[in-house]
Amino acid sequence: MRKIRIGASDMEVFPLGIGAMAWGESKVWGYGADLGYAEVRELFAASIAGGVNFFDTAEVYGNGRSEQNVGRLLAETAAPVYVATKYAPLPWRWTKGTVSTALDRSLKRLGQESVDLYQLHFPFPFVPLKAQWHALADQVARGKVRYVGVSNYNADQMRRAYEVLDKRGVKLVSNQVEYSLVHRSPEVDGVLEACRELNVTLIAYSPLGRGLLSGKYKPGQKPTDVFRANGPFKEAHLRKVQPLLETLEQVGKAYGGKTPAQVALNWLLRQPNVLAIPGAKNLRHIQTSLDAVSWEMTAEEAAQIEAASSGYRQVEFYRPLGS
């Protein structure tokens, strides 16, 4: 099985990682049931058994609960895994001291002396970015952080972060942004181009369009919860995505009946220097992700899919709410 090297790091990872937002508290987003630790442990074990060795969390996921669960899992496994977490640079907590405190708290929840990848979760308006980048470089010097990443950064912000960190002898290795067949803006806003130029891995969150690419919902059958019904699953969005889903189904038939979700993930795996991190709330989600890796669509099929999703390449389909 091929591996992906994250940027200029020594982290070689399975082509898919797992986003652990749902392993904290789903009610942050207003839908779904919370997962108990026994359920999270089962999902982690299935991921490890399938070859997954990269798990992404954040201090804000479940107000630290996701990090705590990941920490318990790390204490129970001998499997070599890489862990990434994220720091939220809010207006009252962006100085070197507050970054250090936030990191130490994350490490305590994770039960680790250091973290493989520490990411700035988003560029908060009016909060000085350069000070945050220097603060992260300081944590690398402390030995608390192995590698530095950012999240939700545009191309210009990423280039500036790369330059500042590089002068400190620290490589920026990743930028975590939304990327899927229904959110292809990284291809046209310069982010994907900058990632490839700088050898920064694009970590793709919401690679299934927050579930839209699962094909579970059809026009007139949208979910009842407020978040999804008024976000990606609006009736107009469900109608718009149907031709793309039909194309995904058609391609999937040539590979033993792969689902639209598996075909959508397989397409993303074709993109150079991209690591997808789908979430997982049940074993079916894990198996869907694993079954997307063991085959490869043709260039012609990829072109067919890209043509069917071209309407999502220019304009942001819906505004990202987080990662």
Name the DSSP class of 135: H
CATH classification at residue 102: 3.20.20.100
The predicted pLDDT at position 291 comes to 97
Q: What's the pLDDT score for residue 321?
A: 37
Domain annotation covers residue 308: no
> Would 312 be classed as within a structural domain?
no
| 160 found inside a domain | yes
Model pLDDT, residue 225: 55
Residue 318 inside a domain? The answer is: no
Give the per-residue pLDDT at 128. Answer: 86
Tokens of residue 205, six digits: 């969150």
Write down the pTM of the prediction. 0.93
* CB burial string 208-220: b at 16+ within 10 A, e below: bbbbbbbbebeee
C-alpha span between 67 and 86 (Å, rounded): 10
Six-digit token string for 254: 């040539």
Amino acid, single-letter form, for residue 100: S
Residue 207 to residue 216: CA distance in whole angstroms: 15
229 belongs to a structural domain: no
Range of the domain at 54: 4-212+262-295
Q: Tens of pLDDT along the chain (323 residues)?
A: 689 999 999 999 999 999 999 998 655 554 456 789 999 999 999 999 999 999 999 999 999 999 999 999 999 999 999 999 999 988 777 778 899 999 999 999 999 999 999 999 999 877 889 999 999 999 999 999 999 999 999 999 999 999 999 999 999 999 999 999 999 999 999 999 999 999 999 999 999 998 999 988 777 776 655 455 556 778 888 899 999 999 999 999 999 999 999 999 999 999 999 999 999 999 999 999 999 999 999 999 999 999 999 999 864 644 443 33
Question: How many domains does the chain contain in total?
Answer: 1
In a 3-state reduction of DSSP, which class is residue 156?
A: helix
Active site residues: 61
Closest CA to 57 of 238, 268, 277: 277
In-domain check, residue 22:
yes
Q: Is residue 256 part of a domain?
A: no
302 located within any domain: no
Pseudo-torsion of CA 138, 140, 142, 146, nearest 10°?
160
